[in-house]
Amino acid sequence: MTNPRTSLSKVWLVFLFVLVGTGGCQVAEKKEVAVLEDYENHPDNVWITNEKVHSGNWACKITPQNVYGPGITRSWELLGHPTRLRVSAWVIMPHGRATAALVVEAKRDNATIYYRLLPIEQVVKRYNQWEQVYDTFTLPETMAPTDVVKVYLWQIGEKRNTIYMDDLMLETLF
C-alpha cells in the first residue's frame, strides 16, 4: 500500500521540477552591453595614429594640443539602464609625471549630472609600454532613459605629453 504523504511529496517534486525546468521561476535578466572603441573605423581623425597600437592597425594619440580624446557616447536607454559601468582601456604613459584620466560623465539636457575620473597615473606603474587600466563606476539612481553617458580620455594639467590609448571598452553591469 502506498503512503499518501509519499505520493503527495513526489507530485510536488515533479511540479517543482517542471516549474523550474520550464523557466517558471526565472527572474528576468538584463543583458550586458559591451561597447568597444578600437579606433579602426576613423583613421582620418586628428587623434588616430598607427605609430603605436595595442590591437588592429590604429590607436588614439593624445598630444599637448589635443587634450581630450575621442571616446564612447551612448544614451542610458541604449545601454540597457545599467546601475554600474566597467570601463577599461590600454594606455601608454611616457612617465609617472604625466597626468591623465579616463572620464565617465552623464549628462541630462547638456547639464552634467555625474562626473567621475580614473586617474591613470595612479594606476600605471610601467611606462612606454601598453598597460591596461580599468575601474567600475556606480551611476546615480536618478538616471533617465534620455541621459547621455560619455567615456573619454582627458590629459589634465599644464605639463602635457603624448599619451596613447587603444581598445577603450565600456561594459554595463546590473
Model confidence over 3-24: pLDDT tens digits?
A: 544 443 443 333 333 334 444 4
| Average confidence score pLDDT of the chain | 85
Q: Fill in the DSSP letter of residue 29.
A: P
pLDDT(78) > 50? yes
Stated pTM of the model: 0.80
Question: CA 155, CA 140: separation in Å to the nearest integer?
Answer: 25
| Domains of the chain (ranges, CATH numbers) | 28-173 (2.60.120.430)
Arithmetic mean of pLDDT, 138-158: 96
Q: Please, which pLDDT band fits residue 26 given cuts at 50, 70 and 90?
A: very low
pLDDT(169) > 90? yes
Angle formed at CA 155 by CA 42 and CA 43, multiple of 5 degrees: 10
3-class DSSP state of 18: helix
Arithmetic mean of pLDDT, 46-73: 93
What pLDDT is stored for residue 18 in this prediction? 39
Question: CA 51, CA 117: separation in Å to the nearest integer?
Answer: 27
Question: CA 121, CA 103: separation in Å to the nearest integer?
Answer: 13
48 neighbors 60 (Cβ within 8 angstroms):
yes
What pLDDT is stored for residue 149 in this prediction? 98
107 neighbors 146 (Cβ within 8 angstroms):
no
pLDDT(107) > 70? yes
What pLDDT is stored for residue 33 in this prediction? 83
Terminal Cα-to-Cα distance of the chain (whole angstroms): 53
What pLDDT is stored for residue 31 in this prediction? 63
Arithmetic mean of pLDDT, 31-48: 85
User: How do residues 111-125 score in pLDDT, each as one tens digit?
Assistant: 999 999 999 999 999
pLDDT(84) > 80? yes
